[in-house]
Amino acid sequence: MIHTSYYTSQNELLTIHPKPLGRGGEGVVYEVISPPKYKNTVIKVYHSKEQTPAREQKLAYMLANPLYQPSKPTLAWPKALIYKTSDCLDFVGYLMPKISDAIDLTQLCTPYVSDKIDKIWQYKFDRNTLIGLQNRLQVCKNIATAFAQIHQIQRYVFVDIKPENIKVNIEGEITVLDVDSVAVIAQERLLFPAQKASPEYSPAELKTQQLIPSDVMRETWDRFSLSVVFYKVLLGLHPFTGTCHPPFDKLDTYAQKIREGLFPMGQMNKHFRIIPLPHQAFYHLDAQIQYLFKTCFEEGYEKETLRPSAKQWEEAFQTVNVSKPLPALNPQTRKRQFKNSPKHYQQKNNLPAVIKSVLGGAALVAVAMLSTVQLGSYRLPDRPVRILKNPVYQEVISPKELARKYGFVNRFADGVAKVIQKGKYGYINENGDKIIDFKYEWADNFHEGAARVAFNQKFGAIDNQGKTIIPFQYDWIGRFQEGLARVILNGKTAYVNAKHQYLIDFEYDYGGDFENGMAAVRKDGYWGFINTQGTEVIKPTFVEVRNFYQGFAAAREGNQWGFINTRGEWAIAPQYEEVFSFIDGRAMVKQGAKQFEINHGGECIAFCPE
């Protein structure tokens, strides 16, 4: 007989629907039907073996130490403990929000959106269309935002992050489930262990199929899991998918490949015999997104602190500018794979032809960079590449020799590339010579003559001679954009130039990088813009903004989006539930149930509502 009445820890009687909403390995979920104030809630009733005092204590702690959540909760956080009787002596589970009109994120983690769900999902999340890719990036950004808030208080590590534990609605809003399985940490001490972990989403630290209850789980564990989830959402397959050459040919599970660091789109590429075709879209992702994936799965494979944080992912998804969708696979080749061989490399990347083509014009500036970029793509050529520096040829080290000497070599910028040895970063020149010592805990590529680096857990910047130009005193530093970099210290943002002169002191709660002469800044909860002279050209009055493109920036007033001009005036009045930035004079917007494109005048030019 099904029990249909339970009591909350406040001794309130709840009546549940006798038919379960779902079942799992830990318990059964039922909808609450009375009293009315609990209309949009459910209870999770644990199986009898899971109704332990330890679970009750852990949930009580979580109730006493809740996480901040926005008006639309992103976490199915416990709302009350649930007992079988009014004396609250027989613990059975907990009360949580009900998630409606949403699907499992797993539905978006395959090469093609399933035909079994509504066609609107296929339209909105087709990664081979611009709107579909933008929507997927927004979903990833929403996930990153949720976990950035979780990790900020340094108390909870989710451990079992996977698409099955995340719900997403048609608007791209997400809710994280199974929060009762988190690990609870306080002052480097494990208060309550995580109940489970999924090996295919766990980093190499998971040596066996079971968690050791006494392990203190780090937030860096979640960083790896999040990166796997983002890869699946964007590309439709697990990042460690592929068939290897010996001695790795017997590794059949993702967990085994993760433990060996076998990410096929990077330096371990040479160990793969077959790489599934959907991986190729990796090289069509924004360069910053590629960089974060490689940082996690290669540099962060052994050095867990190098894995991108949820906050870094959030910033990347927030600022990425998408102008093209991912390339579509031929329907005839949905399940095809490409062989990873030197012959295939030469056919796909005809370096002699490339060199000949470029030499036909001006002097070849960086052919070596072309081959270096391909280090994570196919087998490397055996022959060294010559760089023409007028008026004579200069022999340089081949990409294959570079890889043999340093392992993964990032792309060259300003004639310099970052490399890692024994967990520390340094820089080499195009001849493969070390020019900056291996002493940094984290490092970025050079951009505008400077590189961001971390030393003694503080961020600063160096020039291409290794000279410190921004001292190591900040909690974060952005890239130099238009001669300025944002620096964050104690939760406040300032902007400095390459001489470490402050354009704007720590006046803002947060700020973005400069783009097209403007940077978005937040003060007292509202957003505005400053220019490269430090002038506040648009006062912080907007709930949310996005960067300027083609003279327009998306801005939100209340719950409605519109577009402002560079004077902060409404060029297109706020009237949309969602908007995307202008590209080539057109922007996708959503109004009610309709999505369509508008021009700079706000006129509908495509997919117009009837």
> If DSSP codes are grouped into helix, strand and coil, which group holds residue 34?
strand
Find, among 464, 463, 490, the residue nearest to 476 by Cα: 490
Instruction: Report pLDDT for 70.
Output: 61
In angstroms, rounded to a whole number, what is the distance separating the alpha carbons of residues 150 and 604? 40
In angstroms, rounded to a whole number, what is the distance separating the alpha carbons of residues 102 and 95? 19
Instruction: Report pLDDT for 216.
Output: 61
Instruction: Report pLDDT for 386.
Output: 33
Joined together, the tokens standing for residue 34 give: 């009375």
Alpha helical stretches, state H, 65-201: 119-124, 130-152
Question: C-alpha distances in angstroms, 527 versus 43, 144, 227, 420, 546?
Answer: 39, 20, 29, 38, 9
Question: C-alpha distances in angstroms, 96 versus 44, 331, 587?
Answer: 8, 42, 38
Instruction: Report pLDDT for 378.
Output: 27
Instruction: Report pLDDT for 399.
Output: 62
In angstroms, rounded to a whole number, what is the distance separating the alpha carbons of residues 371 and 390? 20
- Using CB atoms within 10 A of its CB, is residue 46 exposed (0-12), middle (13-18) or buried (19+)? buried
Instruction: Report pLDDT for 69.
Output: 65
- Partners of residue 474 on adjacent β-strands: 459
- Partners of residue 488 on adjacent β-strands: 476, 493
Instruction: Report pLDDT for 259.
Output: 87
Find, among 235, 264, 260, 236, the residue nearest to 250 by Cα: 260
In angstroms, rounded to a whole number, what is the distance separating the alpha carbons of residues 440 and 588? 43
Residues of the chain with pLDDT under 70: 1-2, 68-72, 187, 207-216, 329-400, 403-404, 407-411
Instruction: Report pLDDT for 410.
Output: 58
Instruction: Report pLDDT for 389.
Output: 32
Whether the CA torsion 97, 103, 108, 109 is positive or negative: it is positive
> If DSSP codes are grouped into helix, strand and coil, which group holds residue 28?
strand
